[in-house]
Structure formats: C-alpha cells, structure tokens
C-alpha cells in the first residue's frame, strides 16, 4: 500500500468519524460494552507520525499532544490537531540550546493553556532510562501551550546509585492536583525500573508562578514495586493506575487499579492473573475505561525479569465499565485476517479519549524485524453495534519479523521490603 492509497483511506476514515462523532451525536460510552465496536481506524495523518510513546487529547484546545523520538534518538514534545494539521514543536527550547535531553510523557492542563511533562536533567548521561516509560533523572516541568515558557516543578537530583525521577504526570479535572509516578531510590530486584511509587501534590498558579505543595508519596498494595499513574476519574474522586499489588506478583503481570479518595487499599479493576494490563484512561463521562490487555494471548515469557517485554508482548484495546465489569475486546491487530491486522505482532501503548467520547488516540506498536518495534498514533473511531464495513487505513508494510525464539524459563522472584501504608489525601 503506497502513501497515496493511505491518504485516500485516511480521508474516508476521517469522513466516517464525522458520522460517528458529529455535533449532538450520542456518546458510545452510554452504551453497554457489548454494543461498542470499532467503526474506523486511521493513522493520525496520511504520512504517519512514528516513534511515539505518549499521547493526550485536550478538550479545551482540541489538540493532541505527544512525544516523539527524533533523529538524535531523544524524545521531544509536539502538538497537532486531531485531523493531522498544524504540527508544532514545543520543547526543543527547554534545554537552553542543549538538544540531547529527553522531554516526554506530556499531559494537558484542563484549561488547555499549559501542559506538564517529564524533562531529563541537564548533565544526565543515562540516555536509555531517562526517556519515556522510565523517567530516571527527570523532573516534572510545566510549559505554556506553545512551548514559549517553561517552569520546573520538582527537584529530583541526578543519582546513578539510587536513581530518582518523575514521569507520567496527570492533572485532576479541576487542575488543583497533580498525580505522577516517582521512584523511591531503592532497588526492586528483577525489574527494569527499580522501585516505583505514586505521588500527589497540590498545584497552583499563584502570582503567575506555577508550584507544587503538600507532596504525598504512597505505595498501595502489598508488593510495592511497579506503579504507573494514568489520571483521575472525571469527578476527581478516584485515582487510576497500574500496579502489581499482590504477593509474589511480578511487575510485568500488572493490573489496572483504582484508589478512592480517603482510602488506602487499591481496587482491582481488571484482574488478569499472569497477564499484562497497562495504559488505562477514563472516558470523559466516567462511565467507561479503555486499556491495553494481553488477556487473550498466551505469552509464557517476556525476557528475564520482564526486561524484553517489547520483544514478545502482544496486546489489544479493551473497554470495561468504570467499576471493572463487562470487559470487551475492541481491536484485533494480532488476529490474522482481521481488517486491522497486517500479520505482524502488535501491542497497544498509551491512549486518550476525544472530548466527545467517540474516538480514541492510540499509540500502536508493531514489530518490524529482529523483535524491534515501531510505533505510530492511530485514531480509533467507536460506534454503536457492529458495522457492516470498517474503514482501516494503515502505514506501509515493513519487512516481516523473524520467527520468535523459544521462551526461556522464568526466573525466581525476590520481594522488595515493605513500605509504609498508603494514605493519600486530595
């Protein structure tokens, strides 16, 4: 499939989006999960934006914001309209002329006037683990919408023997709180991330100077090892995150969890013993959650300690009720013969809802060769009931991946020491 064909298919898909999500259209999130189907899938633009890790969608600005790996292999942040126009570079000036720094995992402020992101510390030389997904040696930064002003929000030093950092920050719906993933600096055996925690702080713009106050650090559950922050419920009463909270649960078998205001015990929303459940988001009305899950696949091994998960993982896009009931698979990128499948291994990464709740911006990873993967942003349009035809426009095919090696035996586990009980307040 050539670029011209992709552009034509993308135009058809965009037109179909208008039918599904036009003004006054019913939000699919009002339906039972078993009546929600994918009606169209298209790249963000006719020439797909590749090597993306994180994406967010602003209701006020109606802009997508995402991070993308550049030719120098460092990530920077960009914005673009959902139709694929007005691509803007936002963080190249943050380093004061230093371009070899990661700027990643962006999220909009509810006003649409600012965004928060993780920025690698100047002087840090750990390229691999300072990028998205890790966040070592990073601090949280705030920028205005066009990337002309920057303010540092946290003060984590660069330490190589007990790494600290911050990543995956998300604002509360009223903009008064910031929720993110941090690092304890303690070793978590057999994980590529060391020991993580969750953090919450009040955010203010008093006097035009952004600042955080009353920072809280917590680790819900028993395992206290892997955490990843995704956001708040639309009413602000519940936190959404992934974690391996149970005894002897390896980090790469994380579950989608929630934590209610005033509570310390996590709520397990998407239990999938031995499986991968990650990258979750509430719908704008709070009725549904979408997330990435491997629950229909048998994946016996993801590398020693889960360190090669990108080389073996398969996952699909799922939807469930906000209380965890009625889960349903939405995509079939890994099913041969499905409209969205091109025969290559795929998994779902970060995702964000459109303001009307009828579309999703999804980061899709597909295998290229030698177990390597390449990512791009797709716009997934949802609709009522199964469509008679589905519009799917994809990127040009890459060389087929080589056959996967036989899985190795899983290593023995070690449990990190227990920490204090979780009791966040917001």
- In tens, the pLDDT along 177-212 reads 999 999 887 766 567 777 899 999 999 998 889 999
Structure tokens at 304: 């020693």
Q: Is the pLDDT of residue 411 over 50?
A: no
Partners of residue 346 on adjacent β-strands: 366
- In tens, the pLDDT along 322-347 reads 999 999 999 999 999 999 999 999 99
341: CB partners within 8 A, 6+ apart: 332, 333, 334, 335
Interatomic CA distance for residues 241 and 259, integer angstroms: 8
- In tens, the pLDDT along 139-158 reads 999 999 999 999 999 998 88
| DSSP H helices in 74-193 | none
Interatomic CA distance for residues 76 and 119, integer angstroms: 9
Residue 64 DSSP code: E
Q: Is the pLDDT of residue 362 over 80?
A: yes
The torsion region of residue 262 among left (phi > 0), alpha (psi -120 to 50) and beta comes to: left
Residue where the block lists tokens 């984590």: 156
Q: Is the pLDDT of residue 170 over 80?
A: yes
* Domain residue ranges of the chain, discontinuous segments joined by +: 3-392
So what's the pLDDT on residue 344? Answer: 95
- In tens, the pLDDT along 71-102 reads 999 999 999 999 888 899 999 888 776 788 99
Q: Write the DSSP assignment of 318-373 as a string of letters.
A: EEEETTS-S-EE---TTSTTSTT--SS-EEEEEEEE-TTSSEEEEEEEEE-STT-E
Q: Is the pLDDT of residue 11 over 80?
A: no
Residue where the block lists tokens 């995702």: 351
Cβ atoms of 147 and 96 closer than 8 Å = no
List the CATH code of the domain at 3-392: 2.120.10.30
Tell me what percent of the residues of the chain surpass a pLDDT of 70: 85
Q: Write the DSSP assignment of 145-198 as a string of letters.
A: TTS--EEE-------SSS--BEEEEEE-TTSSEEEEEEE-SS--TT-SS--EEE
């Amino acid at each position: 499939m050539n670029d011209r064909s992709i552009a034509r298919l993308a135009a058809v898909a965009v037109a179909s989006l208008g039918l599904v999500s036009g003004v006054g259209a019913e939000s699919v999130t009002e339906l039972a999960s078993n009546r929600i189907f994918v009606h169209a899938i298209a790249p963000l633009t006719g020439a797909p934006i590749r090597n993306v890790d994180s994406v967010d969608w602003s209701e006020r600005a109606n802009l997508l914001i995402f991070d993308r790996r550049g030719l120098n292999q460092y990530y920077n942040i960009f914005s673009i309209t959902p139709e694929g126009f007005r691509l803007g570079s936002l963080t190249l000036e943050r380093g004061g002329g230093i371009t070899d720094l990661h700027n990643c995992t962006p999220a909009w402020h509810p006003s649409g006037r600012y965004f928060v992101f993780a920025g690698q510390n100047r002087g840090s030389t750990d390229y691999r683990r300072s990028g998205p997904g890790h966040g070592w040696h990073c601090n949280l930064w705030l920028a205005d919408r066009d990337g002309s002003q920057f303010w540092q929000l946290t003060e984590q030093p660069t330490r190589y023997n007990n790494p600290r950092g911050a990543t995956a920050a998300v604002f509360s719906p009223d903009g008064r709180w910031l929720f993110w993933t941090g690092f304890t600096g303690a070793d978590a055996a057999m994980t590529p991330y060391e020991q993580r925690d969750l953090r919450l702080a009040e955010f203010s713009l008093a006097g035009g100077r952004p600042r955080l106050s009353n920072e809280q650090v917590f680790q819900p559950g028993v395992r206290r090892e892997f955490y990843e922050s995704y956001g708040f419920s639309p009413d602000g009463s519940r936190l959404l995150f992934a974690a391996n909270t149970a005894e002897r649960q390896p980090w790469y078998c994380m579950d989608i969890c929630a934590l209610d205001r005033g509570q310390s015990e996590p709520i397990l929303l998407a239990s999938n013993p031995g499986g991968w459940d990650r990258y979750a988001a509430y719908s704008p009305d709070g009725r549904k959650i979408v997330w990435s899950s491997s629950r229909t696949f048998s994946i016996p091994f993801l590398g020693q300690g889960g360190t090669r998960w990108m080389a073996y993982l398969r996952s699909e896009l799922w939807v469930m009720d906000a209380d965890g009931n009625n889960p349903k698979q939405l995509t079939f990128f890994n099913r041969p013969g499905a409209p969205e499948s091109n025969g290559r291994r795929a998994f779902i990464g970060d995702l964000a809802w459109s303001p009307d709740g009828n579309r999703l911006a999804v980061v899709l990873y597909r295998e290229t060769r030698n177990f390597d993967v390449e990512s791009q942003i797709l716009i997934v349009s949802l609709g009522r009931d199964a469509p008679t035809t589905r519009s799917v426009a994809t990127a040009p095919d890459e060389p087929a991946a080589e056959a996967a090696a036989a899985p190795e035996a899983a290593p023995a586990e070690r449990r990190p020491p227990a920490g204090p009980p979780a009791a966040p307040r917001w």
